[in-house]
Amino acid sequence: MTEKILIALIGLGGAVIGSVATISVQIVAEYLRKKEVDRQESPQIEMLTEMLNHPKHKWRSLDRLQHVIGADEETTKRLLLKIGARASEDGKPIWGLRSRNPLPGEPNDS
Look at residue 6 in the predicted model and tell me its pLDDT.
87
Query: Three-state SS for 46?
Result: helix
| pLDDT for 72 beyond 60 | yes
C-alpha 12: how far from chain center = 39
Kindly indicate the confidence band of residue 81, based on its pLDDT and cuts at 50, 70 and 90.
very high
Closest among 41, 47, 1, 65 to 10, alpha carbons compared: 1
**At 108, is the pLDDT very low, low, confident or very high (cuts 50, 70, 90)?**
low
Cα–Cα dist 80/106, whole Å: 19
**Section 57-68 average pLDDT:** 97
pLDDT in tens, 3-57: 888 888 899 999 999 999 999 999 999 999 989 888 889 999 999 999 999 999 9
- Provide the sign of the torsion angle of the four alpha carbons 54, 107, 61, 41, taken in this order: positive
